[in-house]
A and B are shown apart, each in its own frame.
Chain A
Amino acid sequence: MSLADSDRELVVEELEREPTPAEAALFENLWSEHCAYRSSRPLLSAFESEGEQVVVGPGDDAAVVALPGDDDGETYITMGIESHNHPSYVDPFDGAATGVGGIVRDTLSMGAYPIALADSLYFGAFDREHSRYLLEGVVEGISHYGNCIGVPTVAGSVDFHSDYEGNPLVNVACIGLTDEERLVTAEAQEPGNKLVLVGNATGRDGLGGASFASEDLAEDAETEDRPAVQVGDPYAEKLLIEANEVLIEEGLIESARDLGAAGLGGASSELVAKGGLGAHIELERVHQREPNMSALEILLAESQERMCYEVEPEHVDRVEEIAERFDLGCSVIGEVTDGNYVCTFDGSEAQSASDDPDGEQSEPRKRETVVDVDAHFLGEGAPMNDLAHEEPSEPETDLPEVDLEAAFDVVVSSPNTASKRWVYRQYDHEVGVRTSVGPGDDAAIVAIREAETGLALSAGAAPNWTDAAPYEGARAIALENATNVAAKGATPLAAVDCLNGGNPEKPDVYGGFRGIVDGLADMCETLSAPVVGGNVSLYNDSATGPIPPTPTLALVGTKDGYDAPPLSVESEGELLLVGDRGLEADGTRLGGSEYLAQFGGSDAFPSLPETPSEIVETLAAVANDEATLAVHDVSHGGLAVSLAEMVSEDAGLEVSIPADSEPAAALFHEQPGRALVQTDSPAAVREAFDGVAPVVALGEATDRGTLELSVGDRTLERSAGAIRSLRDTLEAELE
């Protein structure tokens, strides 16, 4: 890929000359879909990103949100999310690992310390050998990198769908902790300040990664594109985290940006552009790992674990000292100016290394200007795409005939609904001693003792839902994540999204993508969860076709204290189902369900509650009530799966689904905004939900350790042991 003709014309018009090779490469990368969001930015205005809690919204390295409950209002969290989809296909271990590294450095840029990660992963059908290879590599990469840098992976999701066969998704979210004092941004402050590069030496790795991420994956991508994938070094990242901590604590940093897509050229130009300023950078000053690197390579290499800092001249010595203490390379590469973004290069030093062995020095080359452009034009000048779109069609109702017991076993053991313990056991989810509720529950809870606040985190999407109905499915995903945090007693604070789509030049793909953007935006606004940042990844398209439109949402909520009701029931107490629109009304729809994914057929997507934010608030209040014994969100796989998950060896359930509902629909529909509540005080739960959502008594807990379920005239019984082996699909197949 090179700079498109129409873009080149614009550049020539602006510069009033032909761009240099380095400039052309910069424009190609920074104006790529990956960096400039040319096909998505026109849609992103749908998101409400403001709110009194929002300190820094979209557009910086990470968003910053104030925590409630802190009287001074000075404890902030940062939120960021990033995709590393194409690299993870080509090289799953390194691709996923560097995805973690990138989002953690986005956190450092804001003057924050990273405290939690959440990974949402999407692969082709689990029974395919290649999907398993990718799953194992990606999980190992995240485990290797995240564990080593000491940031706990506390939440996330794993989904399988045949349309990810040729293009898996790796979406990584990071939460950081900072405060009013420490906060820095990626907005350059003052001409005359120095630009200092700290971290790994620059090599030729990852050249052209941004433009690689902006094309469909070719069939031979695994071999052809390997040079565009970077290799991570978590040890260097850990040193960078700790060095950054000292730099921030000592107040030495004016602004910061991590080096990601388009390397030094991207980071440094964006930093000064945001401040309405320019820069003069002398590229040969960059500490390099390989000899004879050209100006263009130094400018665009995506070597990992590097940060660009703006530092006042009198602080430069101290910054160098701190970098040295942590064994990190450090070079003063130039300074902030109020002119253009200018890069010069004196190749004589590099040249001399390759001179002929007779020792005869060739004449040193003169310093040449390789880039001289307006930083704002470089960052913001890319024209937006106006693409055609087709509205998705409504599915017909065509339901399969399946025996209920067989359906139960198949859905409960499906890789999508089965236990993900095999995955999260490989992630250190407790380092940092903040994890009060870890992975495997509806939402994680991280103790923010600095503000005496419990931070709940839920991240994920649902490919089956958005495949069936992009707009409604995306609304459902937002509600589902909010219900997850509410089930642990938290109410939504803010969210970040990672919008993954196929090739937007295909009208049906772009239509679906528009649907997920609008759906996610609408429900987040309804839930008063401002979408404070995000990431867009398009061209997730391969020989096997486009991916389902996939809006990963990482949503945080807050609560008093760090306790939450467990997911498993106790051996005594009544079980209520709240929020189910299907059981009392005229049945519900199976569209987007795991049941249909397993047995074939189609149906409309279930209709969502009319007052979702009231349901979320009420559920959070009920979850925090002393009489509440257990709470579990009902979603993927439907009621059948949630009931199965609540049973243990010590405590079972004897439940009956109201007789007038159609058994398969009642057990397997996936309308979100529902939860199972075990309580000592059913009357209080009914009262709380009066006028908000329906409450149905399902039955009682037992000390038998079995799920005894009757629905209509059918009954079904499964022991906790039987359920455990059904849910053990991943471990059984992969170990």
Chain B
Amino acid sequence: MTVAIIRFGGSNCDRDAERALEHLEVDAEIVWHEDGLPEDTTGVVLPGGFSYGDYLRAGAMAARSPILEEVREAAADGVPVLGVCNGAQIGCESGLTEGAFTTNESARFQCEHVYLRVERDDTRWTAAYEEGEVIEVPIAHGEGRYEVDDDRLEELEADDRILFRYCDADGKLTEEANPNGSKNNVAGVLGERETVAVLMPHPERATLPDIGPTDGQGILRGFDGASGA
């Protein structure tokens, strides 16, 4: 009964996710991708980093590694799967979620705190928040601009699959508050099942109270009950 944090060569937020989940008393362990998912996996984190050095395209190589097949199967069985940053890129590359995260409008890496508007409060990832609530979570990415066909985006919006959008401190969706030029300020989306979510901001960096704000805890609480904790 444990959440598997999948480490690829080049993952670098795996330990951070483990520490944050540990703080929330969610049982989690780091799993080397070649070792495959443990039998008792009750949740999956695709952590941030630069899997395979971002060669080819961010997340593209990891998305084609054998363990992703297992993750897709687990997701189909309803196991909660959360992709963060590079994990979100892997999620989109592997078809777990739709769209793609591509080069920031600035064409530069950006590490800063941003505001997110919670678009739904009835998923496991957002049950701790109110719909429309503004939370502060850091980003750290060079390729986080959400891109998807206009038609597809309309459908995603109609299906209520947008989980977070970049906003200002008052919850307004402005161009200035959109750090990377994401389409319609999208910061995180749901998969076909609501148990699958990906987002570019880092909830694990906004969880530990001894170093700063803790607005990200609610997202990781999506694993509550998934680990037997």
Give A contacts to B, CB under 8 Å: 140, 143-144, 147-150, 233-235, 238-239, 242, 325-327, 424-436, 447, 449, 562, 735
- A691 nearest CB across to chain B (Å): 36
B106 is an interface residue with CB less than 8 A from chain A: yes
Contact B210 A425 (CB under 8 A): no
Docked complex Cα distance between A326 and B208 (Å): 30
Pair A447/B53 contact, Cβ less than 8 Å:
no
Q: When the two chains form their complex, are residues B112 and A238 in contact, meaning their CB atoms are under 8 A apart?
A: no
Judge if B49 is at the interface, Cβ distance under 8 Å.
yes
The answer to whether A234 touches B50 (Cβ under 8 A) is yes
Contacts of A436 in B (CB 8 A): 210-212
Docked complex Cα distance between A432 and B204 (Å): 10
Q: How far is the CA of A148 from the CA of B48 in the complex (A)?
A: 10
Which B residues are CB-close (under 8 A) to A735? 106
A430 touches B205 (CB 8 A): yes
> Do A238 and B9 touch across chains, with their CB atoms under 8 A apart?
yes
Q: Is the CB of B50 within 8 A of A235?
A: yes
Are B54 and A148 in contact, CB atoms less than 8 angstroms apart?
yes
Answer whether residue B229 sits at the interface, using C-beta atoms and an 8 A cutoff.
no
In the complex formed, the residue of A with least CB distance to B19 is A433
What are the residues of chain B within 8 A of A242 when measuring CB–CB? 9
Roughly how many angstroms separate A143 CA and B107 CA in the complex, as a whole number?
Answer: 13
> Per a CB cutoff under 8 Å, which of B9, B19, B110, B202 touches A430?
B202
Q: Which residues of chain B come closer than 8 Å to A427, judged between CB atoms?
A: 109, 111
Query: Is A143 in contact with B210, judged by CB distance below 8 angstroms?
Result: no
User: In the complex the two chains form, is A428's CB within 8 Å of B111's CB?
Assistant: yes
B92-108 interface (Cβ within 8 A of A): 106, 108
With A148-B53, A447-B210 known to touch, is A432 a contact of B111 (CB < 8 Å)? no
Q: List 22 A-B contacts (CB under 8 A).
A: A147-B109, A147-B140, A150-B12, A150-B13, A150-B49, A235-B53, A238-B10, A238-B12, A239-B10, A325-B34, A425-B108, A425-B109, A425-B111, A428-B109, A430-B111, A431-B13, A433-B20, A436-B210, A436-B211, A447-B210, A562-B210, A562-B211
Chain A: which residue is nearest B49 at the CB level?
Answer: A150
Distance in angstroms between the alpha carbons of A451 and B41 in the assembled complex: 33
Known contacts A147-B140, A430-B138, A235 near B9 by CB under 8 Å: yes
Query: Which B residues lie within 8 Å of A562 (CB)?
Result: 210-211
B33 nearest CB across to chain A (Å): 11
Chain B: minimal CB distance from A496 (Å): 25
- Residues in A with CB closer than 8 Å to B112 are 425
Contacts of B10 in A (CB 8 A): 148, 235, 238-239
Interface centre among A143, A429, A431 (most CB of B within 10 A): A431
A239 vs B12: C-alpha distance in the bound complex, in angstroms?
A: 11
Q: Which residue of B lies closest to A446 (CB)?
A: B211
Kindly state the separation between the CA atoms of A325 and B34 in the bound complex, as whole angstroms: 9
The total of chain B residues at the interface (CB under 8 A) is: 34
B208 contacts which of A233, A424, A425, A433 (Cβ < 8 Å)? A433
Bound Cα distance from A424 to B112, whole angstroms: 9
Closest residue of chain B to A239 (Cβ to Cβ) is B9
Tell me, rounded to whole Å, the shortest Cβ–Cβ distance linking B141 to chain A: 9
Residues in A neighbouring B110, C-beta threshold 8 A: 425-426
Q: In the complex, are the beta carbons of B108 and A430 less than 8 A apart?
A: no
Does A238 contact B50, Cβ atoms closer than 8 Å?
yes
Decide if B53 touches A433 in the complex (CB within 8 Å).
no
Q: Is B16 an interface residue (CB 8 A)?
A: yes
Given contacts A239-B9, A426-B108, A433-B208, 8 further A-B contacts (CB under 8 A): A147-B140, A147-B142, A430-B140, A430-B202, A431-B13, A433-B204, A447-B210, A735-B106
List of A residues within 8 angstroms of B54 by Cβ: 148
Please state if B108 and A149 are interface contacts (CB–CB under 8 Å): no
Closest to A735 in B: B106
Indicate if the CB atoms of B16 and A429 lie closer than 8 Å.
no
In the assembly, what is the distance between CA of A79 and CA of B202, in Å?
29
Chain A residue numbers with a CB within 8 Å of B34 are 325
Nearest CB on A from B217, distance (A): 13
Give the residue of A143, A239, A433 whose beta carbon is less than 8 angstroms from that of B211: A433
User: A147 near B50 (CB under 8 angstroms)?
Assistant: yes
Q: Is the CB of B210 within 8 A of A431?
A: no
Distance (whole angstroms) from the CB of A239 to the closest CB of chain B: 5
Q: Determine the chain B residues whose CB is within 8 A of the CB of A149 once the complex forms.
A: 12
Which of chain B's residues 19-54 have a Cβ closer than 8 Å to chain A? 19-20, 32, 34, 48-50, 52-54
Closest to A238 in B: B10
Smallest Cβ distance from B57 to chain A, in angstroms? 14
Q: How far is the CA of A420 from the CA of B96 in the complex (A)?
A: 39
Complex: A100 Cα to B210 Cα, angstroms: 28
Taken together as a complex, chains A and B put the C-alpha atoms of A447 and B211 apart, in Å, by 7
B211→A435 contact, CB < 8 A: yes
* A143 touching B53, Cβ below 8 Å: no
Give CA–CA (A479, B172) in the complex, Å.
45
